[in-house]
Amino acid sequence: MYFIPIVLLLLGACQVQGKAVFAHFMVSNSENYTRSDWANDITLALDAHIDAFVMNMAYGDPVNSAALPVAFTVADSLGFRLFFSFDYAGNGAWPEDQVLDYLTTYGSNAAYYQHNGQPLVSTFEGPDNADDWVTIKAETNCFLIPDWSSLGAKAAMAKGVADGLMSWAAWPWGDQEMNTYVDASYRDYLNGLPYMMPVSPWFYTNLPGYNKTGCGAVTTCGMTGGKRSGICSPNSWRS
């Protein structure tokens, strides 16, 4: 299994109970996937009561076009759902027309996750391209919940195009204890709009190209409080 186990809870900002649970999936890791690999990962996700994979896609990665037809076919056959997270940080910004192409092609697919009848879409960063989403939303009717954590909730909402926000703040900084201030900030500035809150139950990364080596956190907090505490794991979740 090669999906990153950062679990994303889609919440109404004034609700305690989560409405859906998603797992972040790095599409670039699926270069050698077969149909059986997709079926195995999706079956494990279903057994864990995960509602959809968030398909993180880097711009220009040839794995995207090869993996998606198989992933969507298998997901549909198993009653599972997928939706896109356009990664604006890995290989640079996505051009507007290519985002449109992907959403036009897959947004109406039976396996594409819908939020209240609209295809859900997210990003990993990309706030400098916020204006692109005016056209993208108008042409695809998508529901946009971007991760613009580099800005914070207030500045992200000031861009004027997000229908909700995702936070990537699932881990402590250095030796600092986690707290609920980031969640509280999102709750305040979203003012009732959906909040996609991250939970990282078992996460480890070793990416020399990005100078990243570290471990994640177990998250036990909800929108109304609680505590987050860091915990190390010997490897990432895979089988």
Q: What domains, with CATH codes, occur in the chain? A: 21-222 (3.20.20.80)
Give the closest residue to 149 by CA, choosing from 59, 88, 102.
88
Nearest to 118 by CA among 105, 132, 108: 108
User: Exposed, middle or buried: residue 34 (CB in 10 Å: 0-12, 13-18, 19+)?
Assistant: exposed
What is the full per-residue pLDDT of the chain (239 aa) written as tens digits?
555 445 566 654 444 455 799 998 999 999 999 999 999 999 999 999 999 999 999 999 999 999 999 999 999 999 999 999 999 998 999 999 999 999 999 999 999 999 999 999 999 999 999 999 999 999 999 999 999 999 999 999 999 999 999 998 887 777 888 888 999 999 999 999 999 998 876 666 666 666 766 554 333 222 222 222 222 222 223 32
Residue corresponding to tokens 């909040």: 195
Q: Which of 228, 204, 116 is nearest to 163 (CA)?
A: 116
Note the pLDDT of residue 5. Answer: 47
pLDDT of residue 173: 75
pLDDT the model gives residue 179: 86
Predicted confidence at residue 13, as pLDDT, reads 41
Q: What is the structure's pLDDT at 178?
A: 83
Strand, helix or coil for residue 70: helix
Q: Give pLDDT, residue 17.
A: 54
**What is the pTM assigned to this prediction?**
0.82
Helix (H) or strand (E) holding 106, with range, is helix 96-106
Q: What is the pLDDT of residue 2?
A: 53
